[in-house]
Structure formats: structure tokens, C-alpha cells
Chains A and B, each alone.
Chain A
Amino acid sequence: MFVDDIDFPGMLHAYVVRSTHAHAKILNIDTGAAKHSPGVVDVVTFKISAACEKFPLTIPHPNLKPLTEFPLAKDKVRYVGEPVAVIVATSRQLAEDAAPLVQVDYEPMAILAWTSRKRCRLARRWFTKVNRITSADS
């Protein structure tokens, strides 16, 4: 009925490690210690899931240029809470235990927290590297 009520044998739990910075380069992600934490089956980052492609545009349109995100942060984070790694473990609690063991080296970058037009244009470039947003799913 509800997704959380579904229980198949061997199901695992996932916990998302999220960015603690509003804007920063990711220099390195060390998942070694987290992977050895009890109950942890895998720790997935962009590097490991390099085959991952950007999310598809759910409603494509011939006149719109697709502009979607990667499932996990690639080389930088653009907001606090952006998914950086996913811990897969045998229980939710054990996955959460391993979260502080994921070492992410950030190099903080300038933060935009204002809404003036000039700054919005700047922020747009940070996000997209294109000057005109035509279509985006988020």
C-alpha cells in the first residue's frame, strides 16, 4: 500500500550523505572507513557510479533544452543538502552509523544568498554553465 510498508527478503536500507556547504569543490571523497563499518554493504559516490547519467527530463519538449542534475554531486556541491554519497546497509541505523565516517574534503567557494538580478545571473552560471535556462527538472 505505502512504499515503506513493502518488505521483501534481503532488502537493504540506504542513507544519503549530504553536502554541508552551500557552494564548494569536492576535492576527495574517502569512503574506506565507512565501507568497513558494521552492516555496510556499499558506499556509492559519483566516482563509483561513474556510469550514472544525468536524470532524464521527465517531460521532454522539442523546443526545450534538457537541463537536469546528476544523482550524486560530481565535482562540486551547489547547496547544503545536495546528495554526495549513499550508504547501503542492512539496517537504517547501521547506515546512519557509517555516515560520519565518509570523509569529504571540500574547498569552500563564494556563496550567493541575495536575489539581485546580477547575482541571479551569476548563480545561474554556477548551476548550469549556460546563460539561458530553457527547461529544468529538479
Chain B
Amino acid sequence: MALQRIQLKINGRPLEKEVETRKNLADFLRHDLSLTGTHVGCEHGVCGSCTVLYNGEPVRSCLMLAVQADQAEITTVEGLAENGSLNSLQQAFKRHHALQCGFCTPGFLMTATALLRKTGPFDEAQVRKAVAGNLCRCTGYQNIVNAIVEASGGEVLDRASHQQSPSAPVRFIGAPVERAEDNELLTGKGSVRR
């Protein structure tokens, strides 16, 4: 078992740790650092659930070795919340019901975070292109796209969108309901540890 010492920054915090050279970045984050917000879906770069930011660029953490992150700056879903509350992108996801089971959510959030660092606003077509590498098995794409368009400052054209108007509260079957688990799923803090 070959070990190598790496130095990196994770969500702004410097870290030095010995890691097995064959371990991929996703397993390193999840098992060695207990950052289980990053999800591993397909393990071969197709689903996008494990997307993290590597020096600001979205990458598949299941296709990278942890040792390749030496001297790099990694941002995971756990690093998105600002002072303990949801950032504007996470809030938009919650408002638009852009997550159902929540498994793909961290990947979408990281891909969208990289997009939003570029100059917006973005329209639906641009957002769809940006998130083309992320799969949602609940198939809730429309709401995800709406959330990202809104977070970029764009106009959400979809009329079926779960946008609540503060003046006229919606009261019909299917109206958006705040889910207790949304905050955990959006921040990657849903793990069980004893």
C-alpha cells in the first residue's frame, strides 16, 4: 500500500494528509475526510454526481486520484453555504424544488457554481448546455434549470415553475411545500456518524 503526503486546500481550509496513491479523489473526500456531501453515482465519469471544483473548474472527483489534488484548491458542496446559511444558488434550488431524492444535487450545484462565476445572466439553453454532464435520475431537470437561470439573474420563462408569488400565495394540489430534508441535502450535511 503506497502512501504519499499531499497538501491541499479544501473549502478554504489548508490540509496536509497521507493518502493511498491509488485512491481516487471522491473516496478520499468521502472516506478519509468524511465529506460525504460529494456523491459517487456511476464511478466512471458519466453521471456527474461527484463533481467538485478543482482550482475553480468543475471536475469529476471519481476520475481523479487524490494525489493529483496536491497543491490544489478543492471546493465541495460543503463549502457552498455562507456563514451557515444557504447561498443564493442553494436557495434558488430550494425555492424551485430543484431536488427530489437529492443524490445528484451536489454535482449540479458544483457545476452551476462554476457557471455562475462567469458573466451572466444565462438563459435556459445556456444552462442546459452547462449541466449536460449531470444526470438526475428523478428527471427533475426543468426545476434545476429554472433554479440556475434564476440564480444567474436570468428570467425564468417556464410557467409551471414553482415560484411563489408573495402577494398571492398559491393554494392548490402540487403547490410547493418546504421539505425538512432540503437543507441537509443542499449542504451535504446528511451523513450519519457515531
Residues of chain A having any CB pair with chain B under 8 Å? 1-2, 4-9, 38, 92-93
Contact = CB atoms under 8 A, between A and B. Distances in A.
A4 B40 contact: yes
Contact of B190 (A5, A38, A93): A5
A6 B23 contact: no
B39 A2 contact: yes
B20 interface: yes
Contacts of B102: 1
A1 B20 CA distance: 27
Interface string B168-194: 000000000000010011000011111
29 contacts: A1-B181, A1-B184, A1-B185, A1-B190, A1-B192, A2-B39, A2-B103, A2-B190, A4-B30, A4-B36, A4-B39, A4-B40, A5-B30, A5-B36, A5-B191, A5-B192, A6-B191, A6-B192, A7-B34, A7-B36, A7-B191, A7-B192, A8-B194, A9-B194, A38-B1, A92-B27, A93-B20, A93-B22, A93-B23
Given A4-B40, A6-B192, A7-B193, 11 more contacts: A1-B184, A1-B185, A1-B192, A2-B190, A4-B39, A5-B30, A5-B36, A5-B192, A7-B34, A93-B20, A93-B22
Interface residues of B, number: 20
B80 to A, nearest CB: 17
Contacts of B190: 1-2, 5
Interface in B27-55: 27, 30, 34, 36, 39-40
Contacts of A9: 194
A108 B103 CA distance: 41
A1 B194 contact: no
Nearest to B20: A93
Contacts of B192: 1, 5-7
A4 B185 CA distance: 14
A2 B41 CA distance: 12
A73 to B, nearest CB: 25
Interface in B91-114: 102-103
A1 B1 CA distance: 31
A11 to B, nearest CB: 10
Contacts of A6: 191-192
